[in-house]
Structure 1
Amino acid sequence: MSESAVGRDQIPASPEATKAAEDLFRHARGLSDVIGGERFRDELVASLFQRAEEVTSMAVQHRKPKAWQRVGNLDRILTHPVLGIPLMALLFAVVFWLTIVGANVPSAFLAGLLMAEGGLSGWCLEYLGVPAPAMLGTSLYEALHMLFAFLHAPGWLSGFLIDGVYLGLAWVVSVMLPPMAIFFPMFTFLEDSGYLPRVAFNLDWLFKRAGAHGKQALSMMMGFGCNAAGIIACRVIDSPRERLIAILTNVFVPCNGRFPTLIAIATIFFGGLVAQTSGFAASLIATGAIVGIVVVGVVITLLVSWALSRTLLRGEPSAFILELPPYRRPNVLRILYTSLIDRTLFVLMRAMVVAAPAGGIIWLMANIDLGGVSLATHVSGFLDPFGHFLGLDGIILLAFIIAIPANEIVMPTVIMLYLSQTRMLELEGAELGGLLADNGWTMLTAICLMLFSLLHNPCGTTIWTTWRETGSARWTLFGALMPLALGIVACAAVATAVRVLSGLPI
Structure 2
Amino acid sequence: MDELFQQADRLSSSHIRDRIVEQLYKQSNQLIKAGVTFSKAQHNERTEKLDAIFTSPIFGFPIMLVMLGTVFYLTIAGANIPSSMLADFFGWVEGYLTVSFNNIGAPDWLHGVLVLGLYRGTSWVISVMLPPMAIFFPVFALLENYGYLPRVAFNMDRLFKTVGAHGKQSLTMAMGFGCNAAAVMSSRIIESPRERMLAILTNNFVPCNGRWGTLIILSSLFMASGFTGGMKSIVTTSVIVGIVIVGIMTTFLVSWLLSKTALKGVPTHYTLELPPYRKPKFFDTVVRSSLNKSLSVLYRAIKVAAPAGILTWVLANIQIGDTSILLYIVNFLDPLGQLIGLDGYILMAFLIGLPANEIVLPILLMGYLSTGSLMDVDGIEDLKQIFLDHGWTWITALNMMLFSLLHYPCGTTLINIYKETKSMKWTFWSFMIPTAIAFLVTFAVAQAALLFGWG
Q: Hey, which bits of structure 1, 4+ residues long, moved more than 6 A?
A: 29-32
Aligned to 2:261: 311
Look up the match of 1:17.
none
Aligned 8 A contact 2:353 2:360 in 1:
yes
Contact 2:341 2:446 in 1 (8 A): yes
Which structure's relative contact order is higher, taking Cα pairs within 8 Å and 6+ residues apart? 2
Amino acid at match of 2:412: T
Match of 2:336 among 380, 386, 392: 386
Name 2:130's counterpart in structure 1.
177
The letter of the residue matching 1:439 is H
Structure 1 match to 2:392: 441
Contact 1:171 1:408 in 2 (8 A): no
Equivalent residue in structure 2 for 1:227, among 174, 180, 185: 180
Distance change >3 Å, CA 483–CA 446, structure 1 → 2: same
C-alpha contact 1:228 1:347 (8 A) present in aligned 2: no
Which residue of 1 is the match for residue 216 of structure 2?
263
In the alignment, the residues of structure 2 paired with residue 99 and residue 219 of structure 1 have an alpha-carbon distance, to the nearest angstrom, of 21
CA 1:62/1:372 → structure 2, altered by over 3 Å: closer, same or farther?
same
After TM superposition, give the deviation of residue 215 of structure 1 in Å. Answer: 2.2
Does structure 2 conserve the Cα–Cα contact (< 8 Å) formed by 1:172 and 1:352? yes
- Return the match for 2:193 from 240, 262, 271: 240
**Is 1:478 the counterpart of 2:438 in the alignment?**
no
Distance 2:190 2:287 in 1: 23
Distance 1:469 1:334, change over 3 A: farther
Give the number of the structure whose alpha-carbon radius of gyration is greater: 1
Q: How far, CA to CA, are the matches of 1:213 and 1:154 in structure 2?
A: 59
Tell me the CA shift for residue 500 of structure 1. Answer: 3.1
Give the Cα separation in 2 of the matches to 1:325 and 1:87. Answer: 19
Tell whether 2:142 aligns with 1:189: yes
Cα distance in 2, alignment partners of residues 313 and 91 from structure 1: 33
1:235-256 per-residue CA deviation (whole Å, 9 max, x = no partner) reads 3333332222222212112223
Range with bigger deviation, 336-345 or 255-264: 336-345
CA shift at 1:437, angstroms? 2.3
Q: TM-score, normalised by structure 1?
A: 0.80
1:172–1:438: structure 2 CA closer, same or farther, 3 Å change rule?
A: closer
Change (3 A) 1:361 1:248: same
Question: Equivalent residue for 2:159?
Answer: 206
In the TM superposition, residue 323 of structure 1 has moved relative to its aligned partner by: 2.0
Q: Which runs of 5+ in 1 are unaligned?
A: 1-28, 119-138
The answer to whether the Cα contact below 8 Å between 1:172 and 1:406 also exists between their aligned partners in 2 is: no
Tell me which residue corresponds to 1:295.
Answer: 245
Conservation of the 8 A alpha-carbon contact between 1:253 and 1:297: yes
Using the TM superposition, give the Cα deviation of residue 450 of structure 1 relative to its aligned residue in structure 2, in angstroms: 1.9
Matching of residue 79 in structure 1 with residue 55 in structure 2: yes
Residue range with higher mean Cα deviation, 68-77 or 242-251:
68-77
Q: Distance in 2 between matches of 1:279 and 1:104?
A: 11
2: CA distance, partners of 1:75 / 1:217: 18
Q: CA deviation at 1:64?
A: 4.1
Q: Is the 8 A contact 2:76 2:233 kept in 1?
A: no
User: Is the deviation greater in 252-261 or in 59-68?
Assistant: 59-68
The 5-angstrom pairing of residues 51-66 of structure 1 reads 51-55=27-31, 60-65=36-41
The Cα shift of 1:286 comes to 3.8
Q: Which moved more, 1:149-158 or 1:179-188?
A: 149-158
- Shift in CA distance, 37/415, structure 1 to aligned 2, threshold 3 Å: closer
Q: Residue by residue, what CA displacement relative to the aligned partner does 1:210-257 show, whole Å, maximum 9, x if unpaired? A: 111222222222322332333344333333322222222121122232
- What residue in structure 2 maps to residue 40 of structure 1? 16
Distance in 1, Cα, partners of 2:314 & 2:191: 45
Residue in 1 that maps onto 2:413: 462
**Which residue in the other structure is 2:69 paired with?**
93
1:362 positional shift: 0.9
Amino acid across the alignment from 1:265: L
Structure 2 gaps of 5+ residues are none
Is residue 2:81 matched to residue 1:105? Answer: yes
- The residue number in structure 2 matching 1:254 is 207
Q: Does the 8 Å CA contact 1:69/1:328 hold for their aligned counterparts?
A: no
Amino acid at match of 1:202: N
Paired position in structure 2 for 1:405: 355
* Cα distance change, pair 145–460 in 1 and its aligned pair in 2 (3 A): farther
User: Which string of whole-angstrom CA distances, capped at 9 and with x for unpartnered residues, describes residues 261-306 of structure 1?
Assistant: 223322333223x45xx76665554443322222211111111111
Q: Deviations over 1:29-72 (max 9, x none)?
A: 99974875343334444444555555555664222455697112
Do 2:224 and 2:232's aligned partners in 1 also have CA atoms closer than 8 Å?
Answer: yes
Q: Which amino acid aligns with 2:297?
A: V
Q: Give the paired residue count.
A: 450
Deviation at 1:318, TM superposition (A): 1.2
